[in-house]
Structure 1
Amino acid sequence: MAETVANHILARLREWGVEQVFAYPGDGINGLVAAFGESDNQPRFVQSRHEEMSAFEAVGYAKFSGQVGVCMATSGPGAIHLLNGLYDAKLDHVPVVAVVGQTARSAMGGSYQQEVDLQSLFKDVASEYLVEVNVPEQLPNALDRAIRTALVRRAPTALIIPADLQEEEYSPPEHVFKQVPSSPPAELRSTAVPPEAEIARAAEVLNAGTKVAILVGQGARGAAEEVRQVAEVTGAGVAKALLGKDVLADDLPYVTGSIGLLGTRPSYELMRDCDTLLIVGSSFPYTQFLPDFGQARAVQIDLDPGLIGMRYPTEVNLLGDTRGTLAALLPRLTRKDDRSWRETVEKNVTRWWETVEHQAMLDAKPVNPMRIVWELSQRIPENAIVTSDSGSAANWYARDLRIRGDIRGSLSGNLATMGPGVPYAIGAKFAHPDRPVVALVGDGAMQMNGMAELLTISRYYRLWSDPRCVICVFHNNDLNQVTWELRAMGGEPKFEESQALPEVSYADFAAGIGLDAVTVDHPDQLGPAWERALNADRPAVLDVRCDPEVPPIPPHATWEQMKATAQSVLKGDPNAWHLMVQGAKTKAQELRRGR
């Protein structure tokens, strides 16, 4: 039987090592769906409950595997649904390839059913590479280039394949004019290192400093050992951008934790007091959490020329691979014998973790959300993967989860979209079926799409050699992050009609589809619940009823934020007294430990 275009696409994906495609069917990709059946489902067609979830699952897979994630959707509405997940990939610099169907070529331009101008629709999100394939000879070059571009540029790319073309017989490009060949799939890795003169300039800046701070992002993940060595030589403290939370373990005494609104007090103090700043693989955007302009001499290392020198007035910009660049820099650094700065950083870190523990143990109604993550930190396996959704759950992930061992973690960093926590976990399980995965998810995100994706987990978990996949729901019946933003940024009280969520038992839903499920409504139940879920023989849902009035206080609350929150209380916030008490108790722990 002749090879069709659809058959060839799947064969080429197999050559690239693609083992699964996260997708949802539709008649715009019927040729491709048929090809999956003819190829014995290789690569595996992983059916989500919604195309947006397919894209998120591809993003989660790519984040945790380091390989390209592939998602697929039908024409028109299916392609439209992919967009949010693809923008998540674009903003977090994740390699994802979207393959989308299109109306048959003979009907294009005829206002046909489900005909959408997909090139216009995708031209921003897939700006690095977007092509509509209209003849078989465009393949395999178009697919190869989409994958190579996604991997090298760390960005989403897209292929548009008309429905009728998928069923045509494949014919390869020939050695003739106006046809373009391709090369076999191969590993792509950059090892570029800046010139020696620039390395020397950077070393001069770092050697001259007496209070060195390092900020790492996800671009430093492959250079963790080199970062540790630089920190040891320079006596630096190391803060972590949110996407770089898993780069270094939190049991290193000089690691100050996350930075920014969701960050820690010692990270704020590190940036406030340093005289030298080294930024490694991060484009952290909130300059108010970096040193004052002119306070610190700064060096930045990044592989992307579009992201270097744009967040802080850096004196030296080193364009290159972070690991190779740091390795070249290390021999030029002089060890600082005065360790007083390091000692100060380590004391601040010790006090902070004491503060976090005391804050987590404060009484709340019924459960303190900080304690949920604190108790997880005491029990989490050192090879676990943690995903977090956006919202207040991200605060507790950022501040309270202690990274140790080989723990990996991520969330929607720059788009900060609701809804990826559960599909990221699914992508992580397909990337590492032998590792336990934990998702920290608010009840708003669970109602938005997480409950539906529990069905996807129930369907596929038997494929995973380690079936543990724990979905922890912060059940407070409140769209909590926005509620606090209304109070702290707008000075407005909680508006019940927009913020309150309908009541539902997430544990009952999970149990009804064959998952393990535990309801927690008292803090003493948390530890045993985590132990049960982390030792279960199947995925589990922890339905934890927690207090929405425990405030996600930033590491340095401004006068404007405090005034706005007070105004919201005076305007008649429905939970005014309770939120004032919880806020006072939480802040008191920080002030007490600070002394």
Structure 2
Amino acid sequence: MSKTVSDQLLQRLHEWGVRRIYGYPGDGINGLMGAFNRMGDQMEFVQARHEELAAFMATAHAKFTGEVGVCLATSGPGAIHLLNGLYDAKADHQPVVAIVGQQARSALGGDYQQEVDLLSLFKDVAHEYVQVAMVPAQVRHLVDRAMRIARDQRCVTCVIVPNDLQDMDAVEQPPREHGTVHSGIGTTYPPLVPDAESLRAAAAVLNAGQRVAILAGAGALHATDELIAVADVLGAGVAKALLGKFAVPDDLPWVTGAIGLLGTVPSWELMSGCDTLLMVGSSFPYSEFLPKEGQARGVQIDLDGRKVSLRYPMELNVVGDSRRTLQALLPLLERKADRSWRDRIEASVRDWWAVLEKRAMNEASPVNPQRVFWELSPQLPDNAILTVDSGTSAAWYARDVKARRGMMGSLSGGLATMGNAVPYAIAAKMCHPGRPVIALVGDGAMQMLGINGLITIAHHWKRWADPRLVVMVLNNGDLNMVTWEQRVSEGDPKFSASQDLPAFPFAEYARLLGLQGLRVDRPEQVAGAWAQALAADRPVLLEVMADPNVPPLPPHLDLRQAGHYLKALLQGDPDAKQVITATMREAWDGLVTRHVKAKN
């Protein structure tokens, strides 16, 4: 049997190292499905419940392996469904290739069924490279360029394959003539270390500073030892963007934790008091949480020169790999003898952990969501992988979960979309079947996509070397983060018609699928439920009946936000009494705990 274009496309992906593709079938990709069947064990096809889930899985595959993630969808509606997950990859600079079907070439332009202008549709999300295959001789170089550009530019690319082309005979080697392209898979060695002059200039700025702050992001996840060494020499504190949570462990006394709306008071104080800022591998968006312009001299290290001096007017921008750059920079740095700045940071961090513990143990109705994350933290296995959805679950993850060496974790950072945590968790288990995975999800995101993802978990879990996958759902009956944003940002009371969620029996549904389902509705059950879930012989849905009125207070509330908050509660918010009580507890813990610590 002669090799088809579909056979060639999949074989070329295999030659690039691709061993798994996430997708959903359809008649626009029937030729590719037949080729998958012929590939046998060489290539795994993971059937998602929806193309959006497949794109999220491909993004997570890239995040948790460093490889290019690949997803596949049929023409028209299937292609459209991929977009949200692909934008997640784009926003977080992850290498993902989308292979998409299309109607027959002869039908294009004829308003045919399921005909969509896919070039236009994908031109933004895959702006670095999106092409339609029109003849078999193109296929080799289209795959090669899509893979290389996705990998080297850390972006989304797309190849569109009309369904009539998929069954045509392959042209494995284009003719050696004018108008043909002869591509290859040769290794790329990008420049990773800046020149000596840039390094000396960066060192001069950092050596001159007396109060150095470091902000680490996703681009520094592989530079843990180097970040620790630089922070030690400079006597600096390290704050972390959400995607960089596992760049340095939280058990170091000078690590201030998350920064931003979901961040910590020590991170706010670090940025407010520094005279020098070193930003490493981060495109953290909220400039109001960085030093004021003119307050601090700035040095930024990033692999992408397009992303530097974007959030803060840096004095020096160094383009290079964060790990290699820090290694080259270290010998040029001078150890600071005065450690008073470091002492202030460490005192603030100690006080903050005491505040968080106090807040986690506060009374709530029925369960304080902070306690769920606080109790999880010490029970996490050393090699755990955490996935987190957007919403208040991200706030408690950012603050209450202590990152340790050997762990991984991620969420939708730049796009901050709902619905990513469960497909992220599935991909994490596909890529690392011997590691425990924990997905931290709100009930809104769970109803949106997560309950469909449970079907995939139930289908695959028996293949995993370690069956532990825990999906924890904060069931508070509310689209909680948006409710808080309405109050604080707009000054509007909670609008129940938009915010209240219909009841859904998450744990019972999991049991229906053959998974384990646990339901917690009392605070004293939380620690034991985590222990039971993490020791289970199969995936677990842990449903926690959480209090929606515990506020995820930002580390700094300005007068305008405080005014909006008060206005919302005074204008008929249905939960005003409970919100006021919970807020007073949070504020009191912060004031009293830190005051007592300061006196001692």
- Relative to the length of structure 2, the TM-score reads 0.98
Instruction: Report how far residue 14 of structure 1 moved.
Output: 1.6
Question: Residue 142 of structure 1: CA displacement?
Answer: 0.7
Q: Partner of 1:207 in structure 2?
A: 207
Aligned to 2:500: 500
What letter is aligned with 1:475? N
Q: Distance in 1 between matches of 2:493 and 2:520?
A: 29
| Matched-pair contact (CA < 8 Å) for 1:144–1:185 | no
Aligned to 1:348: 348
Letter in 2 for 1:297: R
Letter in 1 for 2:270: L
Name 2:29's counterpart in structure 1: 29
Report which stretch shifted further, 193-202 or 346-355.
193-202
CA contact (8 A) 1:373 1:401 kept: yes
Match of 1:358 in 2: 358
Distance 1:282 1:212 in 2: 17
2:20–2:70 CA contact under 8 A, matched in 1: yes
| Equivalence for 1:183 | 184
Spell out the pairing of 1:258-337 with structure 2 (5 A cutoff): 258-337=258-337
Find the counterpart in structure 2 of residue 110 from structure 1: 110
- Residues 15 and 185 in structure 1, CA contact (< 8 A), matched pair in contact too: no
Listed as ranges, the gaps of 5+ residues in structure 1 are none
Q: Does the Cα contact within 8 Å between 1:281 and 1:322 map onto a contact in 2?
A: yes
Task: Kindly indicate whether residue 401 of structure 2 is the aligned counterpart of residue 401 of structure 1.
Answer: yes
Matched residue type, 2:178: F
Following TM superposition, by how much is the alpha carbon of 1:42 offset from its aligned partner in structure 2, in angstroms?
A: 3.2
Are residues 1:51 and 2:51 paired?
Answer: yes
1:132-171 pair list within 5 angstroms: 132-171=132-171
Q: 1:376-435 CA distances to partner (integer Å, 9 max, x unpaired)?
A: 101000100101000111111111111012111110101111110101111111121111
Work out the CA distance in 2 between the residues paired with 1:239 and 1:113: 52
Deviation of the 1:189 alpha carbon = 5.2
Instruction: Describe the shift of the 1:443–1:291 C-alpha distance in structure 2 as closer, same or farther (beyond 3 A).
Output: same
* Deviation of the 1:31 alpha carbon: 0.3
For 1:292 and 1:462, locate their aligned partners in 2 and report how far apart those are by CA, in whole Å. Answer: 53
Contact kept, 8 Å, 1:13 with 1:43, in 2: the verdict is no
Matched, 1:40 2:30: no
Matched position secondary structure for 2:467: coil
Q: Deviations over 1:330-380 (max 9, x none)?
A: 111010111111111011111111111111010100000001111110100
Q: Distance in 1 between matches of 2:444 and 2:311?
A: 33
| 1:19 counterpart residue number | 19
Find the aligned partners of 1:528 and 1:16 in 2 and give their Cα distance.
46
1:572 is displaced (CA, Å) by 0.9
CA contact (8 A) 1:473 1:541 kept: yes
Equivalent in the alignment of 2:563: 563
The residue number in structure 2 matching 1:415 is: 415
User: How much has 1:223 moved relative to structure 2?
Assistant: 1.4
| Counterpart residue number, 2:536 | 536
Shift of 1:41: 5.0
DSSP-derived class of the 2:71 partner = strand
Residues 166-198 of structure 1: CA distance to partner in whole angstroms, max 9, x if unpaired?
Answer: 111101212211111121364x45342222111
- What is the deviation of 1:594? 2.3
SS at 1:448 equivalent = helix
Partner of 2:247: 247
Q: CA RMSD in A?
A: 1.0
Q: Secondary structure of 1:140's match?
A: helix
Deviations 1:202-222 (A, max 9, x none): 111111111000001111112
The equivalent residue for 2:483 is 483
CA distance in 2, matches of 1:124, 1:184: 26
> Using the alignment, how far apart are the partners of 1:39 and 1:215 within structure 2?
46
Structure 1 CA distance for aligned equivalents of residues 225 and 29 of structure 2 = 45
Which residue of structure 1 aligns with residue 236 of structure 2? Answer: 236
For 1:184 and 1:304, locate their aligned partners in 2 and report how far apart those are by CA, in whole Å.
Answer: 23
SS at 2:55 equivalent: helix
What's the counterpart of residue 81 of structure 1?
A: 81
Amino acid at match of 1:404: R
Deviation at 1:224?
1.4
Pair 536,504 (structure 1): closer, same or farther in 2 beyond 3 Å: same
CA change 1:556–1:217 in 2 (3 A) is same
Q: 2:175 is matched by which residue type in structure 1?
A: E
Q: How does 1:552-591 map to 2 (within 5 A)?
A: 552-591=552-591
CA offset digits 1:118-173 (Å, max 9, x no partner): 00000010001111111111121110111111111111100000001111110121
| Distance of 2:349 and 2:189 partners within structure 1 | 36
Q: Which residue of structure 2 lines up, in the alignment, with residue 472 of structure 1?
A: 472
- Any conservation in 1 of the 2:248–2:405 contact (CA below 8 Å)? no
Contact 1:234-1:334 at 8 Å conserved across structures: yes
What per-residue deviation string (whole Å, max 9, x for no partner) do you get for residues 534-585 of structure 1?
1111111000000000000000111111211111111111111111000110
User: Hey, what does 1:223 align to over in structure 2?
Assistant: 223
CA contact (8 A) 2:218 2:281 kept: yes
Contact kept, 8 Å, 1:137 with 1:171, in 2: the verdict is yes
469 and 191 in structure 1: CA distance in 2 versus 1, 3 angstrom threshold? farther
Secondary structure class of the residue paired with 2:87: helix
**One-letter code of the match for 1:52?**
E
Q: 1:536/1:191 Cα in 2 relative to 1: closer, same or farther (>3 Å)?
A: farther
**Equivalents in 2 of 1:110, 1:480: separation in Å?**
46
SS in 1 for 2:270: helix
Distance 1:419 1:332 in 2: 45
Q: Structure 1: how far apart are the matches of 2:240 and 2:92?
A: 15
**Structure 1 counterpart SS, 2:221:** helix
* Distance in 1 between residues matched to 2:533 and 2:587, nearest whole Å: 32
Match of 1:433 in 2: 433
Amino acid at match of 1:355: V
Runs of 4+ displaced beyond 4 Å: none
Q: 2: distance between equivalents of 1:192 and 1:52?
A: 34
Is contact 1:190-1:321 (8 Å) kept? no
User: For residue 184 of structure 1, what is the amino acid of its counterpart?
Assistant: I
Q: Distance in 2 between matches of 1:44 and 1:315?
A: 48
- Residues 1:109 and 1:80: Cα distance change in structure 2 (over 3 Å): same
Q: Which amino acid aligns with 1:183?
A: G
Q: Distance in 1 between matches of 2:487 and 2:309?
A: 35
Task: Read off the aligned partner of 2:575 and give its amino acid letter.
Answer: N
TM-score by length of 1: 0.99
1:383 corresponds in structure 2 to 383
Residue 303 of structure 1 deviates from its aligned partner by 0.8
User: Do the aligned residues in 2 keep the contact of 1:16 with 1:185 (CA within 8 Å)?
Assistant: no
Is the aligned partner of 1:448 residue 2:448?
Answer: yes
Residue-by-residue CA offset, 1:502-525 (whole Å, 9 max, x unaligned): 011100000000111100001111
> Is 2:122 aligned against 1:122?
yes
Asked if the contact 1:515–1:540 (Cα under 8 Å) also holds between the matched residues in 2, the reply is yes
